[in-house]
Structure formats: C-alpha cells, structure tokens
A and B are shown apart, each in its own frame.
Chain A
Amino acid sequence: MATKPQAFDPKSQPGFGFVAGATIVALYLPIIVLVAFAFNATSSLGIWGGLSLNWFIKAWNNQQIVDAAIFSLWLALVAGALATMMATLAALAMTRTAPYRGQTLAYALINQPLIVPEIVTAISLLIVFSAVKATTGYSGAGYLVLAHTAFCIPFAYLPIRARLEGMDLTFETAAADLYANPWKTFLHITLPGMFPGILAGFMLAFVVSLDDVVITELVKSGGQETLPTFMLGQVRRDMTPEVNAAATLLLIPSILLVTAVHLINRRK
C-alpha cells in the first residue's frame, strides 16, 4: 500500500488497509484454488496432477450441469429482482414516517425469513407446497420463485432501509417547497439517493438465492435441479473437478453482470 506518512489523512485508520488487503487475499484464495483445480488433469480436488482442459469439456457436455447452471441463474435473477422491488416498495412505506399502528408488526414480518433457520422453512414448505402440488397438479418453477423471493426480501430490505434512513430529507423538502409533484420528487431525488442501497439489496438477494441449498432441495420438483442441489447430490459420492469447471464457467457471466451493474451505477 502506498501510504504517505507525512500527509495527515483524517479518514485513515492504522491497520485498516492491511485488514482489507488481507481480507481480499483470503476471499480470493479459495476461488483461485477452485479455478486452478478445474484445470487439474487428475480427478482430485486437493492434489495437483498436471494441466488439462478435460473437466471443462466434460462439464460443458454434461447436460445435467448445463441445465442446472442455467436454471440457477434464471431463478436467482427472477427471485432477486422480485424481492428487490418488493423490498424497495416496503422500505418506502416503512421508513421516515411517523410511527403508525401495525408498523412493528410489518417490520417483524418482513424480517421473519431471517430468523427462521433454513431447514425449518424448508420442511414446512415441503409439507405445504406438496399439498398444493398434489391438489392443483401444477409442479412448475413457480413454487421455487415464490420461496426464493420470500427469503430474499429481508436481505434486499436491510441495505435499502439503512440507506433510506440515513438520507437527508433536505432535498426532498426543498423540492416539495418548489412545488415539484411527489412522483417527480421521488424519481429525481429519492430514487437516485436510494440507488446504492437498492443495488446492494439486489446483489445480496441474488447471491442468497444462488447459494440456497436446503430450501431448494425440498421444494424442487422434477427437472428443477439448481447447481447447489446438483452438487449436494454429488457430496454423497465424490466430487470431481467437473463442478469446479462448471463454477469457473459460471464466474464469467457473473463477473460480466457485476461489472455491468457497476458501470451503470457509476454513470449515475
């Protein structure tokens, strides 16, 4: 880190840069190992056996992995977007207002999925959704979208709310004083101000949905394998670098997407 000891930077705190650097190294180490072993010539995830592209070819030709990866991404995008929109609307209704009846209840309800361990939600959903599936005969992806959206909402909600709460009311009051209509005030003042929160919320929701194993495992119907549930099935037997290769390939659209969001955000 290029620090200039002479100039006094009021913002800097000693050692924080080091912790941040170490954190990033620690975060990337498993990823690097993961990517490296995708190129392993042998079937081991721990011992290096030479360079090879075999696992990429295998993963690419494995229809099961390809289907699961596509479905995972689709589900995370849809559920993440739905959850973020719902959370944004709810946050607008629930922050910066005088306390009103039912507010605490609504707040508790929004955060409810957070306090219930996944396994508990998963089993309740299995019981309830199965009954619905058996009566309606519909066993499509709607159940997974609904379940994922529900548990993503609080994750999207928290950063959005945190952002809203800290926002300065001055500009909005000023706009209202200048007779801007509420919709315009929202569009030009509130929304841009909220945007970093919304983006953080969407990213959290997306990641949480993408990583879910337990709920998906119990809610999924035929042909609704996600990458995590596919891998959970592999845990019983042995893992091969094939899943590393799949995960490495998945990194590419992920990075593209994050970068796109990043660029949009910067233009604001």
Chain B
Amino acid sequence: MRNLLTGLSAIALVSTLGSAASAQEGKVLSLYNWGNYTSPELLAKFEAETGIKVTVTEYDSNDTALAKARAGGTGFDMVVPSANFMQIWIEEGLLLESRPDQMENFKNMDARWIDVSWDQGRHYSVPWQWGTIGPVVATEFYKGDINTHAIWLDPPEELEGKINVPPEKNDVMYAAIRYMGGEWCTGDKEFLKGVRDKLLDAKQHWLSMDYGIERMDSRDTLAQFYYNGAAFRAREVNPDIRYGYPKEGYSMFMDSVAILADAPHPENAKLFVNFIMAPENAALISNFATYSNGILGSEAFMRPDLKDAPELNTPAELVEFGGWQDVCPTEVDELYTSIWTDLMQ
C-alpha cells in the first residue's frame, strides 16, 4: 500500500515537473483560441517551416478568456479576442504591443482592416476571421423576406417556436436596438425599455438560446439568428438554408490574434502572427473555419465553394447596413447588461 502510494505520487510529481520543464523549451508556442477555430493544417505547416510546435487551448466565450487572462499566470502566448472586447484587453494592459504593422507580411493586409476602431493602425493584432451576424432561415418552411431581424424579433407564424438565438449579449442587443430604430450605444432609457419589452416578448417565440447550428440540420430549428460561416455549413446539409442581411442594420464581427503581455514565447508568437498574414496561410484558416480572413490574395487559395458563397459575400446593395459593435460607455453597457440578464432569466 505504502509502496503503491509513493509510486503513484512519484508519477504525479514527475509528470508535473515534466510539463514545467517543457514550458521552458524554445520551440513551442501556446495559442488560446475559440473552440474548433484553428486549422490543424495551418499548425502543421507552421511547424514544418519554423520547427515550432503550437499547442491550442480553447475557450467558448470572450468573458471566459478575459477572466482567465486578467487573473494572470495562464502561460498562453496568443489569444483571439473579438473586436468588441479588444479595447478592454488593450486598456487592461493584457496585450503586448507587438507592432504587426511593421512586420514583413503586413503588406498583404486588406486596407479596410488597418485603421479599425478597436486597434488603430494595427499595433496589437491582426485579423483571424471576420463575418456578419444575421437571420438563417430554412426557406422550405418560410418563403417571405429574410433580409430583416423580424424573422426572430417578430417571428412569422411558420417559424413560431422553431427559432434559436445565441446567448451573446452584444450580438443580440445590437440587432434589437437597430431593429427598433436606434443607434448602437444609445443610452435613451425610454427607448431601451421598448427594446427590453420587444426582446422579452420575442423570447416566448424562441425554442432555445444556445450556440450551435446543427439543430438546423435536424429541423429542430427552422430559423436562427446566427453567424454567416455557420449558415454556410448549414446550407451544405440542407440546400434550402438562406442567410439574410437585415436592412435595419446588422453587425459585423472580427476576431483578431494578439500576443499576451506576459507571453512566455513572444518571439515565436511574432513569427506566427507574421505567418498568418501570408495569403496561402490565411486561406487555410478560412477553409477550416468557413469565415473570411482579412488578407488580400488569399481568395486564390480558398475552397471555391467557400470563396463564392453568398454567406461570405455581402450583396453590394446591402453592404451599407453593416456596422460594428464599438465598446459603449460603462453606464450604457450596464443598461444593456441589465436588459440582458432580464432576458436570460
């Protein structure tokens, strides 16, 4: 018994020391990214070219990632926050000013993604994937106009009780505010009360508030307010699936790679950041995650079905309705949070 005990604790000790030692080796890199968002092919190619092995650890929400990084001591080198969180990461001093704009491959960056509000001139981050959020509809069951948030905020009878909305505060609030005729970051209480009532009323017509699009495959939901890349994958299963760009205003999102201020391997991380700005590498990310990247010339290396997908190519006449979720003033954000917790309960 005692031998067994010492033996097992020795194993435990050796293994923990082992992992501590490997953390000090040179040719490794730790990426903290959204689940199922990292192309294994991309990592294999990076390792082949540089000899650096990337380990991926995953998170499922901006809040989890932020909470962990703020608590410190994570051992991660890179993280992929969404645009509407990037400002918090930078303000809190969590990110390294790695100056991607001075890197070799920065010349490939699409000019529209350089002077973005959340990282002016790209001193901290480079795009990983970007997309839009809108209604995804099974048109076999609903034939009406889908370029409107009414699909899920004033649902037609055909879709009653067959709707899913993701539990993402900013995405939902943005759409609801625009649908009700307001501007993002409005602090007008009278107006926001209307938004709250609308959401609480609409929730009764929903089936679920969760992540995932596979419930559309089985027709458990016939409509979702969801992300364009997922809509593309849903259409691969059910050809009648269509994705809409609401004229009331829809939001765009972008997740960007940044290096953490306390990264153990900042130099390796910079190599990686530069690496993903090469068109052929950016295309690998898109081919896996089915969203657009921000690199010019990557189209040439993308899957043809993805490159030309209507979900990834906003019709010219609807481009103007897209907008970004800037970080709102704290007191406004608290109002939105209050509405959100009411809705979730």
Contacts and interface: CB of A to CB of B under 8 A. Distances in A.
A–B proximity contact (CB within 8 A) = yes
Interface of A: 42-47, 61-64, 67, 74, 78, 81-82, 85, 126-127, 129-135, 137-142, 145, 191, 217-218, 220-225, 229-239
Contacts, number: 152
B22 to A, nearest CB: 8
Interface of B: 1, 4-5, 8-9, 11-12, 15-17, 19-20, 23, 30, 32, 34-38, 40, 43, 55-61, 64, 67-68, 71-77, 211-214, 217-218, 230, 233, 236-237, 289
A44 B40 contact: no
Given A74-B15, A221-B75, A126 B68 contact: yes
Interface majority SS (helix, strand, loop, mixed), chain A:
helix
A43 B214 CA distance: 9
A61 B40 CA distance: 9
24 contacts: A44-B218, A63-B43, A64-B40, A78-B15, A85-B5, A130-B72, A130-B73, A131-B73, A134-B71, A191-B1, A217-B64, A218-B67, A222-B30, A222-B75, A222-B77, A223-B19, A237-B36, A237-B211, A237-B213, A237-B289, A238-B36, A238-B212, A238-B213, A238-B230
Given A46-B217, A223-B30, A236-B211, A139 B40 contact: no
Given A137-B73, A232-B60, 11 more contacts: A46-B218, A85-B4, A126-B68, A130-B74, A132-B73, A140-B17, A142-B12, A235-B35, A235-B212, A236-B36, A237-B37
Closest 10 CB pairs of A and B: A233-B35, A133-B73, A233-B58, A130-B71, A222-B30, A134-B73, A223-B55, A134-B72, A222-B75, A139-B75
A140 B40 contact: no
Contact of B12 (A45, A61, A130, A145): A145
Given A47-B217, A82-B12, A222-B76, A67 B57 contact: no
Contacts of B59: 217, 233
A236 B60 contact: yes
Contact of B20 (A126, A127, A138): A138
B34 A225 contact: no
